[in-house]
């Protein structure tokens, strides 16, 4: 994960990829940074985006708690 403005990075090597690991890594990154972001921009990683679409992507409910939007975490 790389923060947009400061360009600070959090990196971890994992040997397998799953929804649970993806969500855990984001939690670890926010703890490392000491805060959360106002919003998260998901790439087309299958664990984050189930159906890519420019206007109405179908997001995975695991990382953000909702299947339709990427709401800010507080």
Residue range 24-66, pLDDT digits in tens: 888 899 899 888 888 777 666 767 778 888 888 888 776 554 4
Distance (Å, whole) CA 10 – CA 15: 17
Residue 73, in any domain of the structure: no
pLDDT-derived band at 20, boundaries 50, 70, 90: confident
Distance (Å, whole) CA 59 – CA 61: 6
Q: State how many domains the chain has.
A: 1
* Residue written as token pair 């189930």: 50
Residue 40, in any domain of the structure: yes
Per DSSP, the chain holds a count of helices (H) and strands (E) of 2, 2
Residue 9, in any domain of the structure: yes
Query: What are the Cα distances from residue 3, in Å, to 7, 38, 61, 63?
Result: 5, 11, 22, 17
pLDDT-derived band at 73, boundaries 50, 70, 90: very low
Residue 16, in any domain of the structure: yes
In the prediction, which pLDDT does 1 show? 81
In the prediction, which pLDDT does 31 show? 92
By residue range, what is the domain housing residue 14? 1-67
Residue 10, in any domain of the structure: yes
Distance (Å, whole) CA 25 – CA 15: 13
pTM over 0.75: no
């Amino acid at each position: 994960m790389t923060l947009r403005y400061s360009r600070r990075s959090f990196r971890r090597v994992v040997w397998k990829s799953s929804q649970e690991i993806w969500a855990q890594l984001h939690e670890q990154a926010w703890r490392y940074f000491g805060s959360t972001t106002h919003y998260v921009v998901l790439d087309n990683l299958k664990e984050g985006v189930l159906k890519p679409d420019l206007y109405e992507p179908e997001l995975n409910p695991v990382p953000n708690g909702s299947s339709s939007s990427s709401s800010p975490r507080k």
